[in-house]
Structure 1
Amino acid sequence: MSFSLDPSKTAFVFIEFQNEFTTEGGKLHDAVKPSLEAFNTMINAPMLLEKARASGCTVVHCPIEFEEGHEEIGDTEFGILKDVKDGEAFTAGTWNADFCDSMKPEGREFIVKGKTGLCGFHSTNLDFILRGNNVKHVVLCGFLANCCVESTMRTAYENRYTVYTVKDACGATSIEEQESCFENNFAMFSIRTNTEEVMSSLKGSKKAVGQFRKKASKAFGTELETMSTISFNVDGNDTTEVQYA
């Protein structure tokens, strides 16, 4: 499917790219590993993160975490949150709840606060972040496709955002579950897409120039103000000459 995303109105929301899911040693890693390998999730998601940064999109990281004892969950007797509590998963302040190395927030990227349930909006500041940054289009990636991603997608749709769900940048506890939710549910609430389509839909923006300038300054070991021109991709052109005084 062909579409175009305006970086100034687009947010990428990366849901629960934490060691508990993404990394060997995480309590839930073995459960999602088959889907991560089948869809190349941990290759695609970091590529999308870098593309979002370079294009000047709003970048939002949406972790889940609980205080020791998981009192936030209460005494629920069934469901996935009971499993999380019983397994003491995503305990705040532990390696398990940390962002994985390839998906760590940078600079002024947003980190959602207060997520102790399934939906990225419920009990958090996510909607405040999106509206405060004039976001109209929300691109969702992460875990679990048929749980937190789906719950966040449904609320985003009801909140009148245009929602994009990236199949090969998500994970689930089985390949079949991931295939099923995208095939049967997601078209009702989102535009189903993949990494390649999203990458090709994004063009640069003026905001990207500033981000590139900071990164390039570090790479070259000098402030770009001392350089006359530098060429890079922006606004869909192969090369653009940017002049610095």
Structure 2
Amino acid sequence: MNPATTALVLIEFQNDFTTPGGTLHDAVKTVMESTDTLNNAVEAAAAIREAGGVVLHVPITFAPGYDEITRHPYGILKGVVDSTSFVRGSWGAEICEQLTPVEGDIIIEGKRGLDAFGSTNLDFVLRSKGIETVALAGFLTNCCVESTMRSAYEKGFEVLTITDAVGATSPEEHANAIQYDYPMFSKPMSTDEFVSSLSEDKELADSSRGY
């Protein structure tokens, strides 16, 4: 993994998921607390910035009334509509304070569905910046993160999933995705492993340049 060609993609670290008072926070807080999801994502973001990689934020937002999607949503999107989540301009749709984008970060706009590639320019941005390795963190473990993981794999990126920086609505769903699905389409690793790998690879790159 070359840090200079690595991107950390943070999926839906928004108040409705991450923060008490968010519409969906109670659904994910058990897994968040068990894995320390948010703090691990913060650590991973700081590490990749320090190593010379890039952080991309991929929030999901909808106009009031959810006119961008079907009038009769079902599945996960029905849950979003029924809970009035991720409404553009609302506090719940904002990226959480702990992961407020900093200079050099990129915000990917246009996510309306599960796959972060599906309705956005994520692929264009990654390729324009010469990214070869995509590391994923966010929500939900078995939904948007997994959908994005599968697409990134199909598109030919090296895909890493940071298993303690993702969250789901139950420990069972979280564990099942990581155990059975993630190894098929990515290289699962912990935050500590991700950070250590970045540090080691940066040291090797600096050494090769005579720093």
TM tier, smaller: over 0.9
* 1:109 equivalent in structure 2: 105
SS of the residue corresponding to residue 20 of structure 2 reads coil
Which of residues 140, 147, 155 is equivalent to 2:143?
147
Matches within 5 A, 1:218-233: none
Counterpart residue type for residue 23 of structure 2: K
In structure 2, what is the Cα distance between the partners aligned to 1:235 and 1:138?
20
- Structure 1 runs of 4+ with >3 Å offset: none
* Letter of the 2:58 counterpart: C
1:156 aligns with 2:124: no
CA contact (8 A) 1:139 1:164 kept: yes
Secondary structure at the residue paired with 2:88? coil
Determine if the alignment matches structure 1 residue 136 to structure 2 residue 132.
Answer: yes
Tell me the equivalent position of 1:235: 203
What is the alpha-carbon distance in structure 1 between the residues aligned to residue 159 and residue 72 of structure 2?
Answer: 31
Q: Percent identity?
A: 46
Task: Return the match for 2:23 from 19, 23, 27.
Answer: 27
Give the alignment of 1:49-68 within 5 angstroms: 49-68=45-64
1:79 maps to 75
Kept in 2: contact 1:70–1:88 (CA 8 A): no
1:85 Cα offset (Å)? 1.2
Q: Give the conservation status (yes or no) of the 8 Å contact 2:114–2:144.
A: yes
CA contact (8 A) 1:54 1:204 kept: no
* Structure 1, gaps ≥5 residues long: 206-233, 238-245
Aligned pairs, how many?
A: 206
Provide structure 2 residue ranges, at least 5 long, that are not aligned to the other structure: 206-211
Q: Deviations over 1:179-218 (max 9, x none)?
A: 000111111100011101001001389xxxxxxxxxxxxx
Radius of gyration: which is bigger?
Answer: 1
How far off its partner does 1:108 sit?
2.4
CA distance in 2, matches of 1:85, 1:30: 16
Question: In structure 1, what is the equivalent of residue 167 of structure 2?
Answer: 171
When residues 134 and 97 of structure 1 are mapped into structure 2, their CA distance, relative to the original with a 3 A threshold, is: same
Alignment partner of 1:145: what SS?
coil
1:191 maps onto 2:159 in alignment = no
TM-score scaled to structure 1, two decimals?
A: 0.81
CA distance in 1: counterparts of 2:155 and 2:41, whole angstroms: 25
Question: Given that residues 54 and 104 in structure 2 are in contact (C-alpha distance below 8 angstroms), is that contact kept between their aligned partners in structure 1?
Answer: no
